Amino acid sequence: MAPTLVDSVSRRSQLITAAVVVALGLLVAFMVDVHPESLRIPAWVAYVAASAFVFAGLCLLASAITMTYRLQRWLGVAVTVSLFVVCAWVAFGPGQRECSVSLPFVKSITGDAISRGAFGIGAILMGLFLLLVLRRAFADRSVG
């Protein structure tokens, strides 16, 4: 089997990156808990978004300390579910949506239809990706 990019990254670098990513997710969750009045979304949506970072960091950690790909695959499923839920809530949840758009030399606020449309496309793509990662997680039971 050909070495991958992950194979070429040192174990120490993976552990440090994993710790930083998990810490960032936990910090976001802590800030949601400390200052819920600052949110423009329900707290549960912010917690789900923060959990994507925690699961991604745990996936990196699993890669660094174990030789099993099964745990990594299921943590990858958890990351994908987290991202899908956030996209789906923005696209299909109740209430008005406004998103800021920032391009070089252009900064704007988009309306409800454009925000929901963009996140709707994202939700569809994340849903398809979720089906793929679930298929892979269930399909290959022989590896690690």
Domains of the chain, residue spans: 5-139
pTM of the model: 0.82
pLDDT, tens digit (0-9, with 9 covering 90-100), for 48-80: 999 999 999 999 998 888 767 788 899 999 999
DSSP category for residue 36: G
Quote the CA–CA distance of 71 and 32 in Å, as a whole number. 28
> Treating both helix axes as pointing N-terminal to C-terminal, what angle do 11-34 and 43-65 enclose, rounded to 10 degrees?
160
Within 10 angstroms of residue 111's Cβ, the number of other Cβ atoms is 12
Let me know: does 82 contact 49? Beta carbons within 8 Å: yes
Q: Which runs of E-coded beta strand occur in 19-112?
A: 99-103, 106-110
